[in-house]
Chains A and B, each alone.
Chain A
Amino acid sequence: MDLRIWKHPILEFKRDKRVHIYLEDKEIDAYEGETIAAALYASGIKIYSKSVKYHRPRGFFCGIGKCSSCLMRVNGIPHVRTCVTLVKDGMRIEYEKGRGDPPITTEIEVEEEKLDTDLVVVGGGPAGLSAAIAAANLGVDVYLVDENPRAGGQLIKQTHKFFGSKNNYAGVRGVEIAKILLRELKKSNVKWVLNASVIGYYENKRPVLAIAQENRKLIEVTTRNVIVATGAQENMLPFPNNDLPGVYGAGGVQTLMNVYGVKPGNDALIVGAGNVGLIVGYQLIQAGVNVKMVVEAMPKIGGYLVHASKLRRLGVPILTRHTISAAKGKDYVEGAVIVELDENWQPVEGTEQEVDVDLICLAVGLTPSSELLFQAGCEKAYIPELGGPVAIHNEDLETTIDGMYLAGDVSGIEEASTAMMEGRIAGANVAIEFGKERSRAEKLREESFKHLNALRKSPFSERVLKGKERVWKMWRELK
């Protein structure tokens, strides 16, 4: 079985070198540049683990290293996130037993490295890249860390052209914006490391970040400033069988089909008609998947009408006031049940319908990935308008810890275009603190604020702005 997409209207998938990996004793074809999870999925293997207590099958969910659905044992090392670990020829992959046994080999060599820099940017998505480039071009020494094998965050999986203005690459496809930012990154003096997770923040006179690169390198970076641009993680929805492989986050589906070119299923149900659900529905059709319908619990479509109209013109129904009430299947999704909701969000009896799908794509919102900020000790608040738990910050994206900033979705769920502007503002602010290129930095800050405010003039930004104003006020009261 080969579920790889070989022809796509927008994307080209680079598959230069074929390698072989082994799942237990079975040889599996893969291509260099694929993650383990993507290669397994492409060969039809959709179960990566079993739940500890009830041995229920687990597939992947987020596809970007944020959940723990795809943990497997790789070359003797337990709990490897297979969705962010690249295949290597001869790699041995095993299912974990129970909670997973400790490694049996002691021959793992771990390198250590100590670094000193002015600024560490955590996360290489639109916000992090923009922050790192801005600060570096203003004379700041920057070290950028990202957990994924490729930088660019969610941009690298967006086939649609972005809205916005010239300053934030309007009319350019997300994948192409990622390429532009990566070119700028390479031209700048930013040093960066991929496949690396920040595992802790502490202070030793100055802030220190501990970083683990795969399972082989420990990096300790002493810095002055930190910009956290860790993005967000996808929300789950409670319904029976929501843990079945085949129920995936929208971003996970995008990673699989648009980054690695693997078809996630044949017939899809999308849950959620915000921009993410509408966009992923359209992208599924581009990847050759039949999208049966989109269900949305709200009485209105949450995303832009133009995105909804694209799907409708392709014959995809969007059912508002409907939700999923169950997934069907034993080891894998074999169907879904949808139901109408009344004005009190209660299922209307007798309106259950079975939908014949093998893919259920959840696009029911995102939650800021605030873990690092909270571990570092930033004051926090729960702001529903911003997606939930956020570090309290001001308009300049400073947290309550001196020198620590945040930008992008981690500061409140918004758009890639606003994330880029926030990144530039945070980067410029670090440069202003630094003082080397003060007037240029101030100019960049001012311009970026102007563009950010213009983007937020839309009624679609009202809710976010309300949340932002609340959080800015909290910051002023604390400081």
Chain B
Amino acid sequence: MSNYEATGVLTLEDLKDRLPPKERLEKGPVAIIECIQKIPCDPCAHVCRFGAIKKPSLVEPPEVDYDKCTGCGECVAVCPGLAIFVVNLKYREEEALVTIPYELLPIPEKGEIFEALDREGKPVGKARVVSVRRMKDKTTVVTIAVKKDLAMVVRNIGRKIE
């Protein structure tokens, strides 16, 4: 385990028992839940139409049945901790899609290019906005295309480049 309680940043090592297996990731869109602490919360489990997300109790971290998950992204929009993402490795040969929750202005628009940021907010490449969903509760769910090897690295967008 990394020292995430001091840094506020999870590493893939911290998440390794919770991530979908490699074969599932390669099959297409799937939810990546970066929530490992025991906090009383359950909207993700209630919103999932496929029964893919289970909370053993109100405070246990969510468990995902990756065979049931379709990567629809409903959970991305409801998670109060903004801790759920969808990763789609099947998008293109060179690119993967990452779906992130976004609550800042300006609201990104399709086709715009932003800096792609990692879990520490560091720019690691470019992100092209592929789709934008405005939810009723003002959360924006943004899907960005990034280089395939950045799919498990990029978790935010920063400055608009073009």
Contacts and interface: CB of A to CB of B under 8 A. Distances in A.
Contacts of A286: 103-105
A160 B43 CA distance: 14
Given A9-B104, A162-B80, A163-B81, A305 B8 contact: yes
A55 to B, nearest CB: 41
B5 A300 contact: yes
Contact of B7 (A163, A318, A417): A318
Interface string B69-90: 0000000001111110000000
A300 B2 CA distance: 13
B58 A455 contact: yes
Nearest to B140: A9
Interface residues of A, number: 47
B80 A309 contact: no
Interface stretch (B17-25, B32-40, B91-99, B142-150): B32-40
B152 to A, nearest CB: 14
A164 B46 CA distance: 12
Interface in A300-317: 300-301, 304-316
Interface of A: 7-10, 159-166, 170-173, 176, 273, 285-286, 288, 299-301, 304-316, 318, 320, 417, 454-460
A171 B39 CA distance: 13
A457 B57 CA distance: 9
Contact of A163 (B34, B41, B122, B137): B41
A313 B155 contact: yes
Contact of A171 (B80, B103, B104, B155): B80
A309 B104 contact: no
B117 interface: yes
A455 B40 contact: yes
B81 A307 contact: yes
B38 A458 contact: yes
B46 A457 contact: no
A285 B104 contact: yes
A399 to B, nearest CB: 27
A458 B9 contact: no
Given A171-B80, A305-B36, A315-B121, A164 B41 contact: yes
